[in-house]
Structures are given as C-alpha cells and as structure tokens.
A and B are shown apart, each in its own frame.
Chain A
Amino acid sequence: MKIIIKNKSELPIYEQIEQQMKAQILDGTITEEEQLPSIRQLARDLKISVITTTRVYNDLAEEGFIISVAGKGYFVAPRDNELLRERMLFEMEEGFEKAVSNGRNAGLTDEEIISALRQFLEG
C-alpha cells in the first residue's frame, strides 16, 4: 500500500487517503483479503491524527471496500462483495454524469457523446 499526502491539497487528508486506498483496492495493488495496518499503525506511519485514520477506515468499511474482523483488524473486502459492486456502479454513474455534462458544455450531441464512449471502450 502506498499513500502520498499532499499538505497543500485542498482535499482533506482523510479524503486523499480514501481515494488512494480505493484506487489501490480496485486495481488490485492491495490484494483481496489482505490485512491492512491497524488504525494506530497507519496514523504513526503517516504521522497524522488517529482520528483521521479512524475516519478513513470507517468510511471505507461503510462503502464496502474493507471489512473489520473483531479481534483481528481490518482486511480488504472480497471482490464479489455486493456493497462494493453497488458502490462501483454508483461511481460509474457519477463519472457518466460528469462526462455527459462536459460533453454537452463542449457542444456535442447525444449521438456524438455515445460514439465517443464507444471509441473509448474500444480503446
């Protein structure tokens, strides 16, 4: 797991960590069912507040990215997790919304936006 905190970022530290952990869970850098550092360990490693790392783990658990196992700590949630899937679909829709609004602002028709997406999917 790799976390880079930018002090000058407008994003709060907890959001920076959440984004990076989510990305690494989704792309498999942090593997399925891998044990994560404890809340206090992570705070120590990053030299940040324990309250911040507590919030990160609570948020990620709530969104289904990680699970808390009593007495053992936090683990990356299994991939087939329903919550995580819903979350990913939600984020995809959010991405669409942004893409469509940008496309329309640039003056594209719906057909042009759809064909741009098709091109993107075909790589």
Chain B
Amino acid sequence: MENNILEIQGLCKTYDDFSLQDVSFSLPRGYIMGFVGQNGSGKTTTIRSILNMAQFDSGKISVFGLDSVTDSIAIKERLGVVFDSLYLAEHLNAKQIETQLRPFYKDWDSKEYHSRLKAFNLPEDKKVGDFSKGMKMKFMIAVALSHKPELIILDEPTSGLDPVARDELLDILAEYIEDENRGVLFSTHITADVERIADFVTILHNGKVWYTGTKDDLAADYAVLKGDAKDIPEGVMDKLIGYHNYRNGFEALIRTADLAGLPESLEHEKASIDEILVYIAKEDKHEGHSAHDAV
C-alpha cells in the first residue's frame, strides 16, 4: 500500500489577483494534518484542486496513489468531504438525501448512516436546510462517514461552531483516525483545534507553503521573543519575524536555532500556531511598510 494517502507536488494556479505557487506537501496514512493559514491564503483553492473541482496550471496531486484528475471518480468513492456550509439539497430531509446519495457509493452503509444520525441527535424527517450550523456540520460528517472513506477532507468545518460542537468534531476525528490506514486533512483558521489533535501541520501563506511537517517540530522550531528593543544584538534584527515594537517593549517570532547567544534580558516562550500566523502576517505588513517608506 502506498505510504502517503495524499501527496501534492508543485501545485500552481494563477488567478487575476491571486496565485498558488509551487504548493507541495504530503500526508502519510494514519495521521491528521491541520491545514492552516489566513483567509485568502489558498487553502480552499488547494482543497478544490484535490477534489478536482478546480483546474490547476501545473503540478501533480495523488490521492491513494491515484491521479486526482484522471482517477477522480475512483478517488471520490473512497473520500469523505465536509465543507463549512451544506452542499446537499437543503429542501430534503435526511431520509430523502440518503436515497439520492446511495447510488453513487458502492460502499454506502445504511446502518452506519442511521446510527450516526441517531448518535448526533439529528432528526431524519426534518429538512436539513432547517438544521442549525452545528447540526449541518454533523450531518455532513454522518454522510461522509457512511460510505467508509479512507480519507476525510474538512474545509473550515469549525467556523461558526460553538465550542461544544467543535469538541464533538475532535472526538469524531480522534475515533476515526484510530484506524491507522486512514487520513484526515483538516483546514481551519481556528488553530486551537489543530494544536491538540493534528500530527502534521501545513501553513499556507500568500499561496505558498510556509511550513509543512510535524506539529511537534513546528513547536520546537519557533519561539516568541520579547523584551526591550535596545537589548537586541546587532545582526539579530534580520532574523526576527513580524517584529513589532510596543510602548513597553518589542515582540517577534524567532527560530529557536537563532536563540543561542541572545542576552538573558530577552525572554522567550513557546509559540502557538495562532501566534505564528499572526507574526507571519505582521512580517508582510512590515515589509510592505518599509518598501513604502523607501519611496
């Protein structure tokens, strides 16, 4: 069996105002990958490319070792998707939707579907369009799990969900991934969810991969540095990411490898994924700002 359940190599796609540039990452079987980045960083475009819902200019995507374009139908049989909004017919109820969907999946498991609906407290005879946001998300998960997918792709499933529903989702994913042949790609900008459960993290920024690797390495490789700007030794300023000076001191992201030899007056602490995203975004503004100043 191929080792990577999902593999993206050199994905490029140019729009008028935005482009994905050489996006590459891979997810081994048995793990959960958090796919994070600001809104507009290219997460949804990447996901739509994986699902063959968007064409790309160059690059290659393999799912289960199959080509995302030429084998797209075979891939869809084995893939579950959950989007931030319901993609199913809003005017139908859960029973009617099952009748519609069943013919498309040879592994559709009706028993699983109904037991999921029951476990999630989703009424079968209510129009799904009338479900709350949390119920819609759970309904999409019930549908996704009912055809026994090997890979689940979730695009911003937790946006607009209350903490209880988000926690339930994490429970479901933790249960799902107990089977080591499966995989989960989980796009979100609520990084607390990723922080805990994800094995791998890919950070997308302005259409490029800023980081891809294990979450533990990410946590070990970056730190937040704080202190008085006058204590920053010469040459270190260039290594600071998203440097910002406040009234009482400065804050910036730094690679832990660059911490050696810094004066003790500078404090450092571990950086959360949220903080990393914020500093990357600040770095952009900073660069934009100085370019502007030069003019």
Residues of A at under 8 Å CB distance from B? 7, 10, 12, 14, 40-41, 43-44, 47-52, 55
Contacts and interface: CB of A to CB of B under 8 A. Distances in A.
Nearest to B193: A47
Interface of B is mostly: mixed
A44 to B, nearest CB: 4
Nearest to A45: B174
Given A41-B178, A44-B174, A49-B216, 19 more contacts: A7-B195, A10-B270, A12-B270, A43-B174, A43-B177, A43-B178, A44-B175, A47-B170, A47-B171, A47-B174, A47-B197, A49-B197, A50-B30, A50-B31, A50-B32, A50-B199, A51-B31, A51-B216, A52-B199
Nearest to B32: A49
7 contacts: A14-B216, A43-B178, A47-B171, A48-B197, A49-B199, A50-B30, A50-B32
Contacts of B180: 40
Interface of A is mostly: helix
Contacts of A41: 178
Nearest to A39: B180
B62 to A, nearest CB: 22
A52 B215 CA distance: 9
B197 A55 contact: no
A50 B180 CA distance: 10
B86 interface: no
A77 B228 CA distance: 50
A41 B171 CA distance: 12
Given A10-B270, A50-B30, A40 B178 contact: yes
Contacts of A12: 216, 219, 270
B177 A44 contact: yes
Contacts of B219: 12
Contacts of A48: 196-197
B201 to A, nearest CB: 10
Nearest to A48: B196
A41 B175 CA distance: 9
A43 B178 CA distance: 8
B283 to A, nearest CB: 25
B27 interface: no
Interface in B250-285: 269-270
A50 B184 CA distance: 12
B82 interface: no
A41 B31 CA distance: 13
Contacts of B178: 40-41, 43-44
A107 B219 CA distance: 39
B199 A7 contact: no
A49 B198 contact: yes
